[in-house]
Structure 1
């Protein structure tokens, strides 16, 4: 029986790898497998159970067994022909549809009626416990009691902006250029917000210290890794210094590590890991690694902020079914597998983009942020370039990009002129054409 059981597994795995069974395809029923392989019901069932444990297949109750998504089987989505170098949304072709469907089914089987209650405003207990070990891989050591599950990271950062902090300060400091949706929210709500310059070369730590010392700063909102829109990451020295200054001046850091899972950097220790006085709120989103519609984020909070944050997050608004499916997805290793796949895809696109820049930027009219992984790259250009006219000409050529103007506070004076290039949705074969066109149009306007 053991030999037959192993041979069935090997044959099905071979057929999946060779494309005989494709993503989402229904496998022969256990009864059909008995006849196909000349084995007993228990042997066929055991082989299928082992394949499901290996995440090669998944089961749907009262339906059968299906092949888990294989990225190589995905076909490019039909599009309008536009070269999309603007969108930050994940590539539709890289969404783990089948994997996550499998996890949704497992979550329903595992948690059953618990998923159909209102739940806890702090989030599903088992997911928070799973995130403790998941975050530890990024050197974020915490307890489940200090983790809050939110309906996307946007909800978490809006709560943090509204709620009072123990230091009694009021102003939020945000990088310029920086996360436009967040600072526009604060301006609309009339909250005190101030900018501090950040470039591809980093941040002026002396200016940061001055702001912390005299600027009535409640917290500093930063993307330490794969910054939007620059694409760059802080150096170890910068991360350590920011952690030290937070402790020295009683200023909190809100560290948005939403892109952290998309890179290939090894042993990147966030600011959180260097701060010993619990002045860092660590945020993680799962939208960019799985799909935006999941709308799940997690906040790791210092003890001093827990009760206040709880009072502002009054109800459970994140889907319990999504939380349960995410818990299964992480625990069974699918998240790590998908992370490696999508990171490899994006890194190849960044490499192709850098090579295209080197090929066509002979006149040196653009400076890039020089990133090697992540999603964003800054194309900085001479101040004499008319950015609006440049974007109009690119659109006429079927190329969409984001203007750097979008990422500054309206009253912020010291601005660079640049385009934010995203490789998230642009297909690999379009990158060379897109970069060539951008540089050609900059040359015409120079």
Structure 2
């Protein structure tokens, strides 16, 4: 099964990146089986699946060919993106699994037709939660179905956790600086008591974290253990173990936002949740970065002691039963796993190109970069003399879209670094080099006022 998925993903990636162009003949069954080191039946199965998805077509006695697409963004100059998009954090429109998920929606309507006329369970569709038990276990998150709740995106879970009381009797939310901008704005808008701790590309001061846990009134610490937004970096194993141990020692809960758990090589690291011996870690996962944001489905795995309170704050069913049923089918039939491999390969290649471009154009050390080799984000740290507003404007004039790091801090936080958050999720591979060159040129120009 894994071989079949990897072959599908590789062929789709080659088509998407233009290695196989519209109308081109694919390797024969025999040649492909030798190329991938598998049986001819495995290749036939992969080709049949690609044909079913209208990615390729067959001609009897001739072979398999890539479907010709006059609207292909890679080959029609009139459709080339006007801008180089390093700003958007949404998945690439060109890799959305439209046909696969449409099939799952149709199957969900047939399978769950009577359930669609009910309000459902506020905890989420029971069959999906059963499926999620094994799905989450792949990331070393072992939990009973009763502790899994489906939410309307991860943001709903984050809002509930910020507002609800915790059994440790504490009221302050500890956040990294920088951190997820939308959540920071929520905390400020709702006047939630907040404390901060600095996190840089080099990591976080664990001694300072212990001081905050010991002397503060921290009810929970909100953190992204891997692919941090906006830094792009991840905790190492020792840091994850240390955070879990401190939570247990000082009765502080950890809200682990593992929103991109499925991306890149860092899935080999176990989450903080895996080292939790005292039920102090709340685990969050989103499906928006793998499928599409409009699905609005997230998952929260809660310690048993928080279940009743969280459910009381959630109160009602607010997630589409149809979407949940379709996701259940999408995971069960292996489509999610296959698409995940495709996305991982795609993003890993773009990060590789990004790193190469930085090495090529940053020989004078104009910027500092966070060391990332997977995920979608990278921090480009800038000289203190740079006027961020002017830099963003200059780059926009060159049709390079970027996001200033300023918005990823609380409004009254004074010690923030000057940086750009670079996202490669919608930056096309043939644009990345040009975009990085423009950023380094503009950052090194000076004349900011």
Which residue is 1:253 aligned to? 254
Separation (CA, whole Å) in 2 of partners of 1:437 and 1:225: 28
1:320 and 1:21 map into 2 onto residues whose CA distance is: 41
SS in 1 for 2:230: coil
**Distance of aligned partners of 1:266 and 1:411 in 2 relative to their CA distance in 1, 3 Å threshold:** closer
Cα distance in 2 for partners of 1:251, 1:239 equals 15
2:143 corresponds in structure 1 to: 142
* CA deviation vs aligned residue, 1:182-229 (integer Å, no higher than 9, x gap): 011111111101211001111100000000011100100000010000
Aligned to 2:295: 294
How many equivalent pairs are there?
398
- Rounded Cα–Cα distance in structure 2 between residues aligned with 1:104 and 1:18: 30
Pair 1:392-2:393 in alignment: yes
TM-score w.r.t. length of structure 1: 0.85
Structure 2 residue runs without a partner (length 5+): 1-10, 26-42, 57-65
Is residue 55–residue 68 contact of structure 1 (8 Å, CA) maintained in 2?
no
Name the counterpart of 2:205: 204
Question: Kindly tell me: are residues 220 and 56 of structure 1, through their superposed partners in 2, closer, same or farther at Cα, counting changes over 3 Å?
Answer: farther
- SS of alignment partner, residue 277 of structure 1: coil
What corresponds to 2:214 in structure 1? 213
- Judge which range, 206-215 or 77-86, deviates more: 77-86
Cα distance, 1:264 vs. partner?
2.4
Which residue number corresponds to residue 84 of structure 1? 85
Look up the SS of the partner of 1:119 in the other structure. coil
* Alpha-carbon distance in structure 1 between the residues aligned to 2:249 and 2:408: 29
**C-alpha distance after superposition, 1:374-418 (max 9, x if no partner):** 000000011111111111100110011010111111111221110
2:114 partner SS:
helix
Whether contact under 8 Å (1:69, 1:99) holds in the other structure is no
SS of equivalent residue, structure 1 residue 378:
strand
Question: Relative to 1, partners in 2 of residues 1:316 and 1:196: Cα closer, same or farther, differing over 3 Å?
Answer: same
108-117 or 245-254: bigger deviation = 108-117
Number of the residue aligned with 1:46:
none
Partner of 1:67: 52
Choose 421-430 or 75-84, whichever is displaced more.
Answer: 75-84
Aligned-residue Cα RMSD (Å) equals: 2.5
Q: After superposition, give the CA deviation of every residue in 1:116-144 in whole Å (9 maximum; x if it has no partner).
A: 31111000000000000000010000011
SS of the equivalent of 1:382 reads coil
Partners in 2 of 1:387 and 1:377 — Cα distance?
17
- Deviation, structure 1 residue 430: 0.4
**Under a length normalisation based on structure 2, what TM-score does the superposition of the two structures give?**
0.84
CA deviations over 1:55-99 (Å, ceiling 9, x no partner): 9559xxxxxxx8226498683394650111000000000100001
Alignment-derived partner of residue 418 in structure 1: 419
Deviation, 1:237, is: 0.8
Residue 19 of structure 1: CA displacement? 7.6
Give the number of the structure whose alpha-carbon radius of gyration is greater: 1
How far residue 263 of structure 1 moved from its aligned partner, in angstroms, is 1.6
Aligned match of 2:280: 279
- CA–CA distance in 2 between the matches of 1:165 and 1:231? 30
